Chains A and B, each alone.
Chain A
Amino acid sequence: MNSILISIIVLGGTGILCAAILYFVARRFYVEEDPRIALVEELLPGANCGGCGCSGCHDFACACVSATTLDGLNCPGAGEEAMRKIGEIVGLASVASKPMVAVLRCNGSCENRPVTSVYDGAGTCAIMNSVYAGTTDCSYGCIAFGDCVSACRFGALQIDPETKLPVIDEDKCTACGICVKACPRHLIELRAKGPRGLRVWVACANRDRGAMAMKECKAACIGCGKCKKECQFEAITVEDNLAYIDYNKCRLCKKCVDTCPTKAIHSANFPVKRPAKTVEENKESTGA
């Protein structure tokens, strides 16, 4: 009984003494920090992804609090609503930013791009890219070891087991851009998410001339320029046998998607179209 009592007194006493010391030390060396920093930080995702250009979420919060304008300060991970709240906390008007999303500029699925060699070196995209063109003949396309998947802090990327291409979950993607940097072949691009998520992009990065590109991958952009001719808004440029759609000029008419002979131009979130029916309807209406 006695020994239990002694141990309780000794341990309890030590605890109280330490607590007292800590309390006084904390009071004595207290660092005054703007309380708003903590409030701002609470609204941030805390992934330290670096998408804002600051070295981490705390750094970004400090930058917001000490800023004179929020122009140029935007956390893509937190979203517009959080940025508005941050603006309220620091007493500045938040600047509306265009929501962006990552898209993959490759459609070299197993079906489109036959495998021509076997690689059994270390399994990262960066290493394979430095060794050779890849297991298919296309030296521009996706390697699918998933450097982007392991880089993503939001779990927005996954390799599709069937196509062997990364799939981007647009709800989870915050457009922080870490995958853009991780891809050794620069296949991921941040593009405007578009109204209601509608967007159109060239899902290819092959710069070989048409005939060569076609041999390498059935879905390659062959640089034929049909889409450029079709586009009424001068949004499409063809350079080095590769088309590129400027998302600031694109008006989402989707004509390029339909005209592309290799189906290299992809679209997202458009309602499923029934072209055959529309044509028939048109005929009927003109006939009548």
Chain B
Amino acid sequence: MKLRTFTIGGIHPAENKLTASSPIIGMELPREAVIPFAQHIGAPAACLLKKGDTVRRGDLIASASGFVSANVHSPISGTVAKIDKGTTAAGYRTDTITIVASDADHEADSASVSIPAQILRNEAQLEALTPEEIVAIVHEAGIVGLGGATFPTKVKLSPPPGMTADILIINAVECEPFLTNDHALMLEAPTEIISGVRMLMKAAKVDKAVIAIEANKPDAIALLTDVAAKIDGRIEVMPLKVKYPQGGEKQLIEAVTGREVPSGALPIAAGAIVQNVATAYAVWRAAALGEPLIDRVITVTGPELRKPGNYRVALGTPLRMLIEMAGGIPENTGKVILGGPMMGKAIVKLDAPTMKGVSGLLILPMEQARRPKTEPCIRCGECVTACPMGLEPYLIATLSRFSRWEDAEAEKIMNCIECGSCSFACPSSRPILDFIRLGKSTVGAAIRARAQQPNK
């Protein structure tokens, strides 16, 4: 059988899935959790507590402030030690709240995590939930897209008026090299995921769902196909040909349905809603266990790491603890990347906390960390061939470099999904995406300013 994939561009980076067969290990809860209020796309959540307040694990600590925003909950029980500026992994300052657990709190939390959670709603009760109730649960639990973009899930489930979707696509592609967190989750909790998918289907009011998995995860495909067939015939598990960036929303919709999302439009314009598989699992946890989004599965990996693996980590845990759990930082480390090697960002602060959008932590040795020397462009067109959006990366990068913003906009710079295929494919190691990102932020700001002008 010929496997489906997207048609334009794409690349094949080395998979390096070192932790593909590692089970999920629950990580010890931190004594001190630092929780930023901005863990999602949109407005930062508004703090509800003050210094000295006590919270229980799972309590709401900051509420969504606006339509595109998400609630934030406490990952541990304890006392609010401070509400102050903290440091993001990139070294910038952001508003955070620090919760410190006492010994008793810590023991009680650790004990509650180690035993199976109490079921809040059984199968029949989950079945009885209305779409509105499911959206409300998702909103209350502060669930955001766990693939990395952290777009509030509630917003995706509330399409603009007049637009309807007919298919829900569950993104279990995991096309980033090194990352295996979704893979591990699928092997561990297939029934829960299918239950979450069913709730998402109901909330999105669609009758069809496709769980898209790349063909390099045959065990997950077999397991989910089996479970889906037993529970709900409307859910199809679709293996896809391995190609990066298949996990991109637009690429995935095209691969699964053959439909193209128009330039500048939302996926709903093609009748599709895409949700990450970990998001579906988080929805199940919120609905069945009543547990908000306070932990997630993270792949901690790297060629030189002693114990790479998939860990269930409480949000707010310092990244340093994750590395220590995986055997400590190797001696010749050159770079620590938050996420995968393609779209992840190198970080400078290991004391920064784990956030909702962190899917992996990649530790690269020095020889793999540095960029090769930049050479002149030889006009080979490799970047054009690789671009999954059908753009001309060398051109828009050059236009951005020389501040020709109008021309860059005309060349559809805003369609770029920043997947990095161009920079990967470039034989001259040119920093193509660096300049495109700069152009995107400048052009984006200009477009927003233009949109506001008539209102004035």
Contact = CB atoms under 8 A, between A and B. Distances in A.
Interface stretch (A20-28, A30-38, A68-76, A125-133): A125-133
B92 A209 contact: no
B91 interface: yes
Interface string A71-89: 0000000000000000000
B91 A122 contact: no
A130 B346 contact: no
A196 B106 CA distance: 66
B371 interface: yes
Interface stretch (B28-36, B238-246, B289-297, B435-443): B435-443
Contacts of A161: none
Interface in B390-438: 431, 434-435, 437-438
B91 A137 contact: yes
B93 A139 contact: yes
B431 A133 contact: no
A120 B371 contact: yes
Interface in B37-92: 85, 90-92
Interface residues of B, number: 17
Contact of B438 (A126, A139, A208, A212): A126
A130 B348 contact: no
Contact of A116 (B93, B346, B348, B437): B348
A212 B431 CA distance: 33
B403 to A, nearest CB: 10
B205 interface: no
Contacts of B441: 130
Contact of B90 (A122, A124, A133, A207): A133
Contacts of B370: 120
A285 interface: no
Interface string A98-120: 00000000000000000011001
Contacts of A127: 431, 434-435, 437-438
Contacts of B346: 132
B4 interface: no
Interface string A187-213: 000000000000000000001110010
Interface of A: 116-117, 120-122, 124, 126-127, 130-134, 137, 139, 207-209, 212
Given A124-B438, A139-B93, A208-B85, 16 more contacts: A116-B348, A117-B348, A120-B370, A122-B431, A122-B435, A122-B438, A126-B438, A127-B431, A127-B435, A127-B438, A130-B437, A131-B345, A132-B90, A133-B91, A134-B91, A207-B93
| A-B CB proximity, top 3 nearest | A133-B91, A122-B434, A122-B431
